[in-house]
């Protein structure tokens, strides 16, 4: 298994691809395989996502839940009181500038050990300056593609989330083509593109250094369900200096 120096890649290029689950000692893979039943229950929660009613393009292709946590580096995950999601119009010129009140992630999903295990493994990769505490905005997304409506994972286009770091992890792709994750430099020139294909494939992004976006998805067979399930975690450093 190939070793990837994630902190080095984030520092030097602004992103790190965990495709084929290439992380030291296969720890990322082991979460899925050693917790197979819990992981399946975790993924099953994507079957119960309410529609996103804040798409200004009038689309019906996105379903989501949203919650906010504090993560203390002594392995403590603290659910914060529910709050609406806000992005400025600079960060999100399509749906920004308003408070979007999404349904929270369900307690049984939060309590599933898979979520904490992923955070416990990945948060230290972002700790360049001995950060001890992160505010994490957690998003469950299902993007649906239909014959008469493509699914758009990032309808706002090339963007930044306003975080320090971002984890984008695919849980499942069903009967779709497209969904290419792209990374751009400060001048919005394309640096990198890749499709996250297998459960657990992930892209880690330094949101301060690069821009990102995802291309539309389309059904392969129009007679069958077509969707892309993704977990997005945005990490905001709140360590007291």
Q: Give 34 or 25, the one with higher predicted confidence.
A: 34
CA–CA dist 228, 144 (Å, integer): 7
The pLDDT of residue 27 is above 80:
no
User: 89-121 burial, b if ≥16 CB within 10 A, otherwise e?
Assistant: eebbebbbeeebebbbbeeebbebebbbbbbbe
At 75, list the tokens: 């392995």
pLDDT band of 241, cuts 50, 70, 90? very low
In this structure, of 53-67, 118-132, 174-188, 200-214, the range with the lowest mean pLDDT score is: 118-132
Residue 16 is predicted with a pLDDT of 94
Q: How would DSSP label each residue in the chain?
A: -----HHHHHHHHSEEEE-S---GGGHHHHHHHHTHHHHHHHHHGGGG--B-TT-TT----EEEEEEEEEEETTTEEEEPPP--EE--TTT-TTT-SSEE-PPPPPHHHHSSHHHHHHHHHHGGGG-TT---EEEEEEEEEEEE-BTTB-B-S-TT-SB--SSSEEEEEEEEEESEEE-EEEEE-TT--EEEEEE--STT-EEEEETTT-EEEE--EEESSTTS--EEEEEEEEEEE----
Pick from 163, 153, 150: which is nearest to 204 by CA? Answer: 163
Tens digit of each residue's pLDDT (9 = 90 or more) over 134-145: 999 999 999 999
Tell me the torsion sign for CA atoms 11, 15, 21, 22.
negative
In this structure, of 17-21, 75-79, 228-232, the range with the lowest mean pLDDT score is: 17-21
Residue 4 is predicted with a pLDDT of 78
Which conformational region is residue 21 in: left (phi greater than 0), alpha (psi within -120 to 50 degrees), or beta? left
CA–CA dist 61, 143 (Å, integer): 6
The pLDDT of residue 17 is above 50:
yes
Contact 178, 217 (CB under 8 A): yes
Pick from 123, 149, 95: which is nearest to 237 by CA? Answer: 123
Give Cβ neighbours of residue 143 (< 8 Å, ≥ 6 apart).
Answer: 61, 62, 63, 151, 152, 153, 179, 217, 227, 228, 230
CATH class name, domain 6-237: mainly beta
Contact 142, 229 (CB under 8 A): yes
Residue 8 is predicted with a pLDDT of 92
CA–CA dist 66, 139 (Å, integer): 5
Q: What residues does each domain of the chain span?
A: 6-237
């Amino acid at each position: 298994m190939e070793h990837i120096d994630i902190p080095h890649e984030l520092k030097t290029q602004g992103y790190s691809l965990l495709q084929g689950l290439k992380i030291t000692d296969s720890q990322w893979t082991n979460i899925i395989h050693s917790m197979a039943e819990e992981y399946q229950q975790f993924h099953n929660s994507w079957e119960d996502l309410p529609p996103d009613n804040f798409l200004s393009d009038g689309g019906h292709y996105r379903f989501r839940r949203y919650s906010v946590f504090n993560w203390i580096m002594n392995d403590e995950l603290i659910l914060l009181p529910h709050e609406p999601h806000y992005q400025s119009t600079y960060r999100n010129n399509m749906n920004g500038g308003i408070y979007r009140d999404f349904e929270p992630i369900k307690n049984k999903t939060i309590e599933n050990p898979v979520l904490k295990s992923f955070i416990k493994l990945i948060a230290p990769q972002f700790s360049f300056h001995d950060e001890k505490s992160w505010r994490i905005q957690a998003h469950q997304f299902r993007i649906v593609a239909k014959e008469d409506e493509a699914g758009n994972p990032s309808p706002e286009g090339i963007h930044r989330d306003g975080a320090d770091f971002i984890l984008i992890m695919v849980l499942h792709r069903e009967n779709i083509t497209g969904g290419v994750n792209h990374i751009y430099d400060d001048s919005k020139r394309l640096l990198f593109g890749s499709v996250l294909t297998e459960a657990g494939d992930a892209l880690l992004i330094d949101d301060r250094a690069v821009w990102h976006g995802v291309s539309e998805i389309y059904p392969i067979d129009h007679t069958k369900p077509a969707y892309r399930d993704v977990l997005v975690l945005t990490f905001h450093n709140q360590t007291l200096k």
